[in-house]
Structure 1
Amino acid sequence: MSSSTFSQTRTQALGLEKQTEQLLSKFSQFQHQQTLDLTNDEITIKQQIEDILLKRDTIISKLNRISEVEPNLSTSKLQQLTRHKEKLNDDHLSFTKITNNINDERNKNNLLFNVQNDLNTHKQRQQREMNGNDYILEESQRVDNVNSIADRLLQGAFATRDELLNQRQYLNNAQSRIQSSLQRIPGLNVLISKINTRRKRDTLILATVIAVCILLLFFV
Structure 2
Amino acid sequence: MTTYDRLHRQCRTLENLFDSKLTTYAQLAATLAQPEQDVEASGSSNRWKDLEQELDDLLLKLEEINEQLSTLASNPDILSASMLRTIQRHRELFQDNSRELNRTKTNIHAALDKASLLSGVRNDIDAYKSSAGESLLAERGRIDNSHRMTDDILAQAYETRSEFSRQRTSISSVNARMVGVINKMPGINNLVGMIKSRRRRDSIILGLLIGICTIIILSHFGLYSSMLLYVYPLF
TM-score of the pair, normalised by structure 2: 0.71
Aligned partner of 1:85 in structure 2 is 91
Q: Are the aligned partners of 1:27 and 1:42 in contact in 2 as well (CA < 8 Å)?
A: yes
Q: Could you tell me which residue of structure 2 aligns to residue 52 of structure 1?
A: 58
Superposition pairs for residues 99-138 of structure 1, below 5 Å?
99-138=105-144
In 2, distance between residues paired with 1:172 and 1:188? Answer: 24
State the alpha-carbon separation in 2 of the partners of residues 188 and 125 from structure 1.
Answer: 93
Distance 1:70 1:149 in 2: 110
1:15-94 aligned within 5 A? 15-31=13-29, 32-33=31-32, 34=37, 35-36=39-40, 39-94=45-100
Deviations along 1:126-163, one digit per CA (max 9) or x if unpaired, are 22222222221222122112211211211221222122
How far does residue 53 in structure 1 lie from its aligned partner after superposition?
A: 1.1
Task: Work out which of the two has the higher radius of gyration on C-alpha atoms and give 1 or 2.
Answer: 2
The answer as to whether partners of 2:22 and 2:101 remain within 8 angstroms in 1 is yes
Unaligned runs of at least 5 residues, structure 1: 190-220
Distance in 2 of aligned mates of 1:127 and 1:173 = 67
Q: Map residues 140-219 of structure 1 onto 2, 5 A cutoff.
A: 140-185=146-191, 186-187=193-194
Partner of residue 12, structure 1: 10
1:87 maps to a residue whose letter is L
Native 8 Å contact 2:21 2:55 kept in 1:
yes
Whole-angstrom CA distance in 1 between matches of 2:188 and 2:3: 156
Match of 1:198 in 2: none
Q: Find the aligned partners of 2:45 and 2:143 in 1 and give their Cα distance.
A: 51
Corresponding letter in the other structure for 2:61: K
RMSD of aligned C-alpha atoms?
2.3
Q: Structure 1 residues 156, 40: closer, same or farther in 2, change over 3 A?
A: closer
Q: Which runs of 5+ in 2 are unaligned?
A: 197-235
The alpha-carbon distance between structure 1 residues 130 and 169, as it changes in their structure 2 partners (threshold 3 A), is same
CA distance, structure 2, for counterparts of residue 138 and residue 41 of structure 1: 53
Q: CA deviation at 1:72?
A: 4.7
Decide which moves more: 165-174 or 19-28.
165-174
Count of matched residue pairs: 187
* TM superposition score normalised by structure 1: 0.75
